[in-house]
Amino acid sequence: MDDGRLNKPASRPVKAGYSRPLDFKHGRVDLTHGSGGRAMAQLIEQLFAPAFDNVLLAQGNDGTVLDLPPGRLVMATDSHVVSPLFFPGGDIGALAVHGTVNDVAVMGATPLYLSAGFILEEGFPLGELKRIVESMAAAARAAGVAIVTGDTKVVEQGKGDGVFINTTGVGVLRPGAQLGGARARPGDVVLLSGTLGDHGMAIMSLRESLAFDTEIVSDSAALHGLVAALLDTGADVRCLRDPTRGGLATTLNEIARQSGVGMMLDEAAIPVQAQVQAACEFLGLDPLYVANEGKLVAIVAPQDAGRALAALRAHPLGAQAACIGTVLADENRFVQMTTRFGGRRIVDWLSGDQLPRIC
Amino acid sequence: MCLALPVRVVELKGGDAAVVDLGGIRKEISLALVEDVRAGDYVVLHVGYALTKLDPDEAQRTLELFRAAGSGAPLHEVQA
Amino acid sequence: MKFIDEFRDGDTARRIGAQIAAEVQPGRRYHFMEFCGGHTHAISRYGVGDLLPDGVKMIHGPGCPVCVLPIGRVDLAIQLALERGVTLATYGDVLRVPASNGLSLLKAKARGGKVAMVYSAADALALARQDPAREVVFFAIGFETTTPPTALVIRQAAAEGLANFSVVCNHVLTPAAIGNILESPEVRKLGTVPLDGFIGPAHVSTIIGSQPYEHFAEEYGKPVVIAGFEPLDVMQAILMLVRQVNEGRAEVENEFTRAVNRDGNLKAQALCAEVFELRKSFEWRGLGEVPYSALAIRGEFAAFDAEKKFALDTRKVADNKACECGAILRGLKHPRDCKIFGTVCTPENPVGSCMVSSEGACAAHYSYGRYKEIPIRAAA
């Protein structure tokens, strides 16, 4: 007997709801993109997942289960709020990948996975977001790391600066690696992998009221290959650090404080590109305090200094590496420098923000 | 208040504007406080304005004076 | 960089240093004041002191316009930003000067005040042009080097009839300050501050020429050597001063001949005379009231004088009792003589203005020179 409609099998499978593709030309981030609903799922499906393109992320869970090689875990995190978002030599996306990869690498670990948390401002153009995300993806691919989990929030217009990105990275410590800021000893040698100030001055060159017509290019780069080349030599490296905000001066003062030592630098040995030097002159800034995003400082036992320097110089990112000073016994923990001029000065901690001097 | 730099005038633009060069960095500045400046001249730049022209011959003479130090010759005899 | 690198050469520096050492008379002490903040900074940053013989001492003078800005004037700027709703535009150096109520312009910005850092007076004018609805006040400071640009923008604003732009004028004059120091009892009568000569400012002199210093050489018998901005210029000037002292001369000499002549920049001087007039008196932090030492905007340009436009009243505010900036600015004390130097008063937490500006004697000593007093053991 015919039971009526209810027993009639469906004649066609139910069509999925129409999902309009994201409009990267004219579309903008709106509050729904962060609300956890369909719009956000769309953002992930159409932008983040294809860009970051890995099996783990594609699983689409709240968290990601990771298989790690044996060894001790290193974790690092960085938030990026750089303005402007795009600059010669990079953008906030690439910076977000490089920054955390580098923090893991200078601990003596091989970076493996990153998370990416976005805080987007309502009204931010989707086209720019796409550029940033694709840049992150390219940087991650080049660095051999996968972005395996993430989060997106949207804040009202005026409450954010376009995009803020946080990345957290994990890696596995190389066997035998024992790097730390407290390990520097008198007699150790201070090595620098290349020219100072490129990133900071690239940013300054774009800021309002301080414009230059000749491009200075940021040195934003992933350094784990360079670190591996250095550590592979077997040299006794006490400490590795990347001198980002606050520049070389801040990094060395931190190490001096942690290790309870002093340092003596040789200004003439510190590499600075002529253009960066000129830009610093213009603004009354000291390259020692300007941010870098693709350089590292290595404190190395004196007997291994030659080997270590050669390894840095043999790598493309360390071609201009130099020995810039030595570690001293000094209970005051001063970082001092013999100036090119022949006098001596201390290289103190940075006070406040480096405001351009005019006088 | 003194931070001022010797820069080379690269191009004269309309009005008092000019483009100068320092070590490969270019910037647009104002020549409103100086006169008779041509491309190739050096000026002393302060907060976006040229204060005066820099005389390359005098600069050379000054450098020579520096080098004369240590030769024992008194100042007024060394002046070129 | 041409005309910069050659003037920083270490070998030449050592040679001039040796020459100075050869010419100083044994047992005699020479005290020279470098008036200009830029020279203070150069001496510290390059470690010029290390290349001088022990008998030659440099005293830091008050030629740092940020350092001599009275608290009451900074309060005006903060008031404009926080209470009058204007956009307060000024040079970077001014932002951190500590003023009343624990505020600075930077802190006022954090509290919601509209404070814009500009590199040039022209940038402040541009801000006003860009947005006619926005009231922009340019807080102008500086010695004679920085005054002509302010004059230019005021004249330009007048020509364009800009209704939303005005200037708080704090421009001060170098010769008046030098005179004030030379007139101080400690220098003139008591002789407690031995002062054998001055290194004259580099870029101020491009504007005013070398002529204004002749009065000091004649009246007070002190030699003046105008020096360029680079460390070699400073060393050469010290050599020239030593020679003058040894030979009993008190003349104005010019080491910075590549940019300074006797008359200065007449065009710039005329422009300033058109826009500014002398104030009868002006308070300098550390020096007190100094007659005819500062400029005010002329009546014809009253529409651009923020003090008139906003009916501003400058209050006299005393320095923190423990702060020795006053004595330090006059060369009577050294930063290390100040009880709060390096402890309470640091570049992070500056109590007085000598610590705020990197050219202030205290900041320069803190950032570059402290090691000299503490012996360092070499590598183990």
Which residues of C are less than 8 Å from B34 in CB distance? 265, 267
Percentage of chain A with pLDDT > 90?
67
Q: Is the pLDDT of residue C321 over 70?
A: yes
Which residues of B are less than 8 Å from C143 in CB distance? 1
**Structural domains of chain C in order of their starting residue, each with its CATH number:** 5-64+174-254 (3.40.50.11750), 71-172+266-309 (3.40.50.11740), 325-362 (no CATH)
Of C91, C202, C232, the CB nearest to B2: C202
Q: What is the pLDDT of residues A16-38, one digit of tens each?
A: 666 678 899 999 999 888 887 88
Q: Is the pLDDT of residue A8 over 70?
A: no
In chain A, CATH 3.30.1330.10 sits at 31-173
Interface of C with A in 189-228 (CB under 8 A): none
Q: Is the pLDDT of residue A3 over 60?
A: no
Q: Is the pLDDT of residue A211 over 90?
A: no
Which residues of B are less than 8 Å from A212 in CB distance? 25-27
Query: What value does the mean pLDDT take over residues C136-152?
Result: 96
Confidence band (pLDDT; 50, 70, 90) for C47? Answer: confident
Q: Which of A127-141, A176-190, C263-277, C362-376 has the lowest mean pLDDT?
A: C362-376
pLDDT for the residue B19: 92
Q: What is the pLDDT of residues A236-258, one digit of tens each?
A: 999 999 999 899 999 999 999 99
SS (H, E, C) chain A: CCCCHHHCCCCCCCCCCCCCCCCCCCCECCHHHHCCCHHHHHHHHHHHHHHHCCHHHHCCCCCCCCCCCCCCEEEEEEEECCCCCEECCEEHHHHHHHHHHHHHHCCCEEEEEEEEEEEEECCCEHHHHHHHHHHHHHHHHHHCCEEEEEEEEEECCCCCCCEEEEEEEEEEECCCCCCCCCCCCCCCEEEECCCCCHHHHHHHCCCCCCCCCCCCCCCCCCCHHHHHHHHHCCCCEEEEECCCCCHHHHHHHHHHHHHCCEEEEEHHHCCCCHHHHHHHHHHCCCHHHCCCCCCCEEEECHHHHHHHHHHHHHCHHHCCCEEEEEEECCCCCCEEEECCCCCEEECCCCCCCCCCCCC
Report the distance separating Cα C355 and Cα C367, nearest Å.
10
Q: Is the pLDDT of residue A342 over 80?
A: yes
Mean pLDDT of chain C: 91
Contact yes or no for A274 and B5 at CB 8 A: no
Which residues of C are less than 8 Å from B78 in CB distance? none
Q: Considering only CB atoms, which residues of chain B are within 8 Å of chain A? A: 1-3, 5, 19, 22-28, 46-47
Burial of C227-260, coded b for 16+ CB within 10 Å and e otherwise, reads bbbbbbbbbbbbbbbbbbbeeeebebbbbbbbbb
Percentage of chain C with pLDDT > 90?
64
Q: How far is CA C373 from CA A94, A327, A337, A343, C110, in A?
A: 46, 20, 15, 15, 37
Query: What value does the mean pLDDT take over residues C304-327?
Result: 90
Which residues of B are less than 8 Å from C120 in CB distance? 47-49
Mean pLDDT of chain A: 90
Q: Is A349 on the interface with B (CB under 8 A)?
A: no
Contact yes or no for C12 and B47 at CB 8 A: no
Query: What value does the mean pLDDT take over residues A138-157?
Result: 94
Q: Is B78 on the interface with C (CB under 8 A)?
A: no
Percentage of chain C with pLDDT > 70?
97
Of A268, A281, A326, the CB nearest to C379: A326
Q: Is the pLDDT of residue C61 over 90?
A: no
Q: Is A1 on the interface with B (CB under 8 A)?
A: no
Confidence band (pLDDT; 50, 70, 90) for A207? Answer: confident
pLDDT for the residue C379: 41
Which residues of A are less than 8 Å from B23 in CB distance? 274-275, 277-278, 281
Q: Is A214 on the interface with B (CB under 8 A)?
A: yes
Q: Is C38 on the interface with A (CB under 8 A)?
A: yes
In chain A, CATH 3.90.650.10 sits at 189-346
pLDDT for the residue B75: 47
Confidence band (pLDDT; 50, 70, 90) for C58? Answer: very high
Of B1, B22, B47, the CB nearest to A281: B22
Query: What value does the mean pLDDT take over residues C47-61?
Result: 91
Report whether C225 contacts C199 (CB < 8 A). Answer: yes
Contact yes or no for C204 and B56 at CB 8 A: no
**Structural domains of chain B in order of their starting residue, each with its CATH number:** 5-78 (2.30.30.140)
Contact yes or no for C12 and B33 at CB 8 A: no
Query: What value does the mean pLDDT take over residues C222-245?
Result: 96
Q: Which of A140-154, A259-273, C12-26, C57-71 has the lowest mean pLDDT?
A: C57-71
Contact yes or no for B70 and C18 at CB 8 A: yes
Report the distance separating Cα C170 and Cα A310, nearest Å.
56
pLDDT for the residue C380: 38
Q: What is the pLDDT of residues C86-98, one digit of tens each?
A: 999 998 889 988 8
Q: What is the pTM of this model?
A: 0.86
pLDDT for the residue C364: 85
Of A328, A334, A343, the CB nearest to C47: A343
Q: Is A211 on the interface with B (CB under 8 A)?
A: yes
Q: What is the pLDDT of residues A295-322, one digit of tens each?
A: 999 999 999 999 999 999 999 999 999 9
Query: What value does the mean pLDDT take over residues A120-128?
Result: 95
Of A326, A342, A359, the CB nearest to C65: A359
Q: Is A343 on the interface with C (CB under 8 A)?
A: yes
Contact yes or no for A343 and C51 at CB 8 A: yes
Domain boundaries A31-173, CATH class = alpha beta
Report the distance separating Cα B25 and Cα A216, nearest Å.
9
Q: Please tell me the distance in Å from B45's CA to the nearest CA on chain C.
A: 10
Q: Regarding the domain with residue range A189-346, which homologous superfamily does it belong to in the CATH classification?
A: PurM-like C-terminal domain (3.90.650.10)
pLDDT for the residue A60: 82
Q: What is the pLDDT of residues C258-277, one digit of tens each?
A: 999 999 999 999 999 999 99
Contact yes or no for C16 and B47 at CB 8 A: no
Report the distance separating Cα C282 and Cα C298, nearest Å.
16
pLDDT tens for chain B, 80 residues long, are: 457 899 999 999 989 999 998 888 888 899 999 999 999 999 999 988 999 999 999 999 998 988 887 555 454 433 33
Query: What value does the mean pLDDT take over residues A283-290?
Result: 89
Q: Please tell me the distance in Å from B45's CA to the nearest CA on chain A.
A: 9
Query: What value does the mean pLDDT take over residues A35-56?
Result: 87
Report the distance separating Cα C35 and Cα C64, nearest Å.
8
DSSP for C112-161, please give it: T-EEEE-SSHHHHHHHHHH-TTS-EEEEEEESTTTHHHHHHHHHHHHHHT
Range with the largest mean pLDDT of A57-61, A185-189, C213-217: A185-189
pLDDT for the residue B79: 34
pLDDT for the residue A343: 86
Q: Is C15 on the interface with A (CB under 8 A)?
A: no
